Amino acid sequence: MQCGCQQPLRIKDVEELESDEVFARFHCVDCDWTVGAEGSVKDLDPLVPANTWSDEARYHLSRLPPYLANLVRDEVETFAHDQHYQMMTYARLVSARNKGMVEWSPEAERRLANVPSGIRTMAKTELERTALDRGMPEVTVVLMEEVKTRYFGMATGRS
Ligand SMILES: [Zn+2]
């Protein structure tokens, strides 16, 4: 990303909005111009330099004891490198700490048990893949409802 004055824009901060949206602010040191970009983590990821931490992820890190914060930072940045992520969001931090494993909320787990056994494995895989794609650390009931509508044709009438 370049400023109008041809200087490279530097990332200033990344703020997490709802779901997987973020607001990234870029700054030009030369003319002191600031520009913001809003979009999904996936879309903005290629625009930021490696190891760009969101405010939320940074805050989480700052609350850990210093020795642990350093370990977690290394762990998350190594994981991000392996996964070709540039941006560290809170969800990605959690996912990195789980080594890319997706957790299930207790309610989502209960619901999965009620899915007919013939399609349970497929549903489980699809849900975990979708959660990982979005950088979500956990499969929730809300995600289940959405995926159910989209993939299994059990539309609830909402558009
Ligand atoms: Zn400039």
Q: Which residues place a Cβ less than 5 A from the ion ligand 1? A: 3, 5, 7, 28, 30-31
Q: Would you list the domain boundaries of the chain?
A: 10-97, 103-151
CATH of 103-151, one of 2.60.40.3470, 1.10.8.550, 1.10.4080.10, 1.10.510.10: 1.10.8.550
Placement of tokens 């909402």 in the chain: 158
CA-to-CA dists, residue 113 to 18, 106, 118, 128, 144, angstroms = 29, 11, 12, 15, 13
Give the Å distance between the CA of 9 and the centre of ligand 1. 7
Strand partners, 11: 26
pTM over cut 0.75: no
The first and second tokens of residue 86, run together, are 């540039």
Per-residue pLDDT of the chain (159 residues; tens, 9 = 90+): 789 899 999 999 999 998 779 999 999 999 999 999 999 998 999 999 999 999 999 998 998 888 888 988 998 999 889 888 999 998 888 878 777 678 899 999 999 998 888 888 888 888 888 887 776 778 999 999 988 887 766 544 444
What does each C-alpha distance from 8 to 5, 29, 56, 88, 123 come to in angstroms? 9, 9, 25, 21, 45
